[in-house]
């Protein structure tokens, strides 16, 4: 049973070129802060944003996990970004537009001198990557790769698909990515929802992500944090069910049984495991709060 070290319900992106947003992030209840050097930063601001990100990480973001998203190694800024992040205090570097295992190897190589604790997170956002998910996931073995973030905006662009609230064109990839990630013990976050004023639309998308099994969701705006944390925290009803399953399996008459009846439904030992995991996740969240 793998329990995440820290909750990763909400991962807020912000442009590292935006000093005001970085200061504000220190006051927000997101689990993860992702300082972006890539899509959200204009070419002329790249170098300054890199320095600002490293300085902001040194100042700290409280108990939030702190990640810097680098530019790709195929860009003029990628290598310098990676080296700067490798000697920063960031928990992870997030790299964009990975297409296959060769890209992971190139990132691992450039990070070879970084502290062992520095994690490698990757975006899953190219058409090539969705065809090679198990191969990319296999790179986690013995390496830094520990988490994927779905990049649905870039996928929509490459596919020429429409990113509508139901996300129909992306559903096969979302479930394949979650399965490939789980098979390799990689954590996985859902893509961003560009809608930050219509919170009902956001909430429905977050609930869809929960249904698919994501650990949490990447976000673009502070208004999305509270609904996201609520969706990705175990609900009272789920916890009540989990506790009922745990208590039922502990009864003397249920010792040695593999399947029992709990509140009119079947519960097997696999449900007991799920129940214990849910309770442990809820405890992690409550100790954080
Ligand atoms: N992180 C931290 N603070 C943020 C923020 C973010 N992602 N987005 C907005 N804010 C802050 C603003 O600075 C503003 O602060 P203030 O009240 O102290 O002035 C407040 O939240 C309200 O912002 P608002 O006016 O509603 O949004 P905006 O029009 O200024 O910005 C975006 C809209 C989309 C440009 C902005 O939210 C953003 O840059 N998001 C992240 C983009 C990104 O990183 N993309 C890459 C990954 S997809
Ligand atoms: Mg992108």
Residue 1 has pLDDT above 60, yes or no: no
133-187 pLDDT tens trace:
999 999 999 999 999 999 999 999 999 999 999 999 999 999 999 999 999 999 9
CATH architecture assigned to 10-231: Alpha-Beta Barrel (3.20)
Confidence of residue 6 (pLDDT cuts 50, 70, 90): confident
Residue 105 has pLDDT above 80, yes or no: yes
25 C-alpha vs ligand 1 centroid, how far in Å? 10
29 lines ligand 1 (CB under 6 A): no
Residue 83 has pLDDT above 60, yes or no: yes
Q: Which-ligand-closest: CA of 96?
A: 2
15 C-alpha vs ligand 2 centroid, how far in Å? 13
The residue contributing the CA closest to ligand 1 atom 25 is 221
Pairwise CA distance, residues 209 & 237, whole Å = 19
Confidence of residue 287 (pLDDT cuts 50, 70, 90): confident
36 lines ligand 1 (CB under 6 A): yes
Which residues touch 54 (CB under 8 Å, ≥6 apart)? Answer: 68, 84, 85, 88
Confidence of residue 221 (pLDDT cuts 50, 70, 90): very high
Q: Per-residue pLDDT averaged across 64-90, rounded?
A: 97
Pairwise CA distance, residues 244 & 137, whole Å = 35
Q: Per-residue pLDDT averaged across 99-122, rounded?
A: 97
- Indicate the burial class of 201 (C-beta count within 10 angstroms; 0-12, 13-18, 19 or more): middle
Question: Across-strand partners of 147?
Answer: 121, 187
24 lines ligand 1 (CB under 6 A): yes
Q: Per-residue pLDDT averaged across 176-201, rounded?
A: 97
Both tokens of residue 208?
Answer: 């869809």
The residue contributing the CA closest to ligand 1 atom 12 is 21
**Which pLDDT score is estimated for 227?**
98
Determine contact, residues 128/122, Cβ cutoff 8 Å.
no
**Which pLDDT score is estimated for 2?**
60
What are the sequence ranges of the domains in the chain?
Answer: 10-231, 236-286
* Mean pLDDT for all residues in the chain: 96
226 lines ligand 1 (CB under 6 A): no
Confidence of residue 195 (pLDDT cuts 50, 70, 90): very high
Length of the chain: 289
192 C-alpha vs ligand 2 centroid, how far in Å? 10
197 lines ligand 1 (CB under 6 A): no
69 C-alpha vs ligand 2 centroid, how far in Å? 10
């Amino acid at each position: 049973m793998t329990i995440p070290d820290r909750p990763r319900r909400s991962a807020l992106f912000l442009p590292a070129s935006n000093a005001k947003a970085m200061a504000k992030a220190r006051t927000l209840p997101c689990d993860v802060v992702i300082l972006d050097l890539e899509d959200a930063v204009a070419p002329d601001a790249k170098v300054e944003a890199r320095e600002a990100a490293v300085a902001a990480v040194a100042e700290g973001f409280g108990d939030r996990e702190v990640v810097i998203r680098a530019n790709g190694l195929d860009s003029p800024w990628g290598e310098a970004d990676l080296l700067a992040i490798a000697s920063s205090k960031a928990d992870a570097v997030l790299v964009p537009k990975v297409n296959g295992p060769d890209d992971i190897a190139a990132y691992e190589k450039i990070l070879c001198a970084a502290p062992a604790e520095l994690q490698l997170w990757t975006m899953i956002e190219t058409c090539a990557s969705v065809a090679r998910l198990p191969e990319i996931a296999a790179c986690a073995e013995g390496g830094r790769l520990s988490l994927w973030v779905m990049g649905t905006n870039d996928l929509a662009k490459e596919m020429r698909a429409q990113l509508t609230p139901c996300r129909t064109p992306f559903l096969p990839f979302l479930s394949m990515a979650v399965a490939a990630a789980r098979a390799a013990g990689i954590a996985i976050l859902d893509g961003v929802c560009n809608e930050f004023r219509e919170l009902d639309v956001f909430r429905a998308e977050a609930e869809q992500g929960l249904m698919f099994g994501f650990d949490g969701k990447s976000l673009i705006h502070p208004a999305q944090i509270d609904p996201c944390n609520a969706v990705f925290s175990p609900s009272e009803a789920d916890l009540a069910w989990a506790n009922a399953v745990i208590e039922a399996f502990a009864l003397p008459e249920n010792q040695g049984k593999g399947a029992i009846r709990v509140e009119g439904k079947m519960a097997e030992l696999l449900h007991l495991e799920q129940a214990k995991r849910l309770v442990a996740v809820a405890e992690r969240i409550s100790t954080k709060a």
